[in-house]
Structure 1
Amino acid sequence: MRNETPAEVVPVRFDTKIAVLLREDLETWQRLNVTAFLVSGLGTVAPEVIGEPYADADDTGYLPMFRQPVLVFEGTKERLTAAHAKALGRELPVSVFTSDLFRTGNDRDNRAAVRAVGRADLDLVGLAVYGPKNAVDKVLKGARMHP
């Protein structure tokens, strides 16, 4: 008789990756803020990344979260620029955070600040990318895991 492993015990593997790349010279508060902003829109363009809602033992409901980990990397300004170009070239969903966004205070001004600068001249401090694991790995080549 063959022993079967219950589905709940088998580790879940993903063929996709959610990754954030931050510029290495950011302050700690900026890293946290930028990461939160970058991943916030992902579920709207890739709803499959959102898992089921949570509930505790008292049946209190909580919001659903990503169904897979978000990996955070860091790199130089040049690494960010290269990753941005690679992600766009591979037509992967990308969000960007530029240095100008540290000086704005609302969504309208954030979008206007990005709109005012051409793609090649964006002063990127972070980006998030989602897609097939191998494609995201190629986009992030040369970046290192955030400490």
Structure 2
Amino acid sequence: MFDTKVALIVRDDLATWQRLNVVAFLATGIAASAPDMIGQPYIDAAGQHYAAMLVQPMMILQSDLAKLQSVRVKAIERELTVVPYVFSMFSTSNDEANRQAFGAEDAGAPDLVGLALRGPKNAVDKAIKGLSLHP
């Protein structure tokens, strides 16, 4: 049905509120990077209009830090769309501070708490191989 695949990967040692926060932010990154994935607005039987959503399902997986870092490298090598979220972003309060926190990370081994990937199905599958679905 879709030529592409979307995978959201969240670190397995986070509190529930942190996991949900990371997944929400990663999903917005995918939406922002692929406006063609936004469907039409929804209209209920009474004619009330609602906002549009992504047209493609997203897989939500979990991983430890080492595997997240490995997946990031594979995703970059495969030229996938990559949306990162690092631990220090939990202590920021705005987009500019988030980008500063991310920019201060070790580029070779960022303290990732989540990644979103989008690209050709086979390339995403290879990048996430061995990860388990989030329970």
Equivalent position of 1:5 in the other structure: none
The answer to whether the 8 Å contact 2:69/2:109 transfers is no
Matched to 1:56, the amino acid is D
String of CA shifts for 1:58-110, please: whole Å, max 9, x gaps.
11111110101111000111110010001111111111110001111111100
Equivalent position of 1:71 in the other structure: 59
The answer to whether the 8 Å contact 1:79/1:142 transfers is no
Deviation of the 1:121 alpha carbon: 2.8
Aligned residues: 135
Q: TM-score, normalized by length of structure 1?
A: 0.88
Deviant stretches of 4+, over 4 Å: none
Identity of aligned residues (%): 47
User: RMSD value over aligned CA atoms?
Assistant: 1.0
Q: TM-score, normalized by length of structure 2?
A: 0.95
Equivalent position of 2:32 in the other structure: 44
Equivalent position of 1:3 in the other structure: none
Structure 2 CA distance for aligned equivalents of residues 112 and 18 of structure 1:
26
Structure 2 regions of 5+ residues with no counterpart?
none
Equivalent position of 1:89 in the other structure: 77
Larger Rg: 1
Matched to 1:74, the amino acid is Q
Matched to 2:126, the amino acid is K
Structure 1 regions of 5+ residues with no counterpart?
1-12
String of CA shifts for 1:23-51, please: whole Å, max 9, x gaps.
11011111100000011022232122111
Matching of residue 116 in structure 1 with residue 104 in structure 2: yes
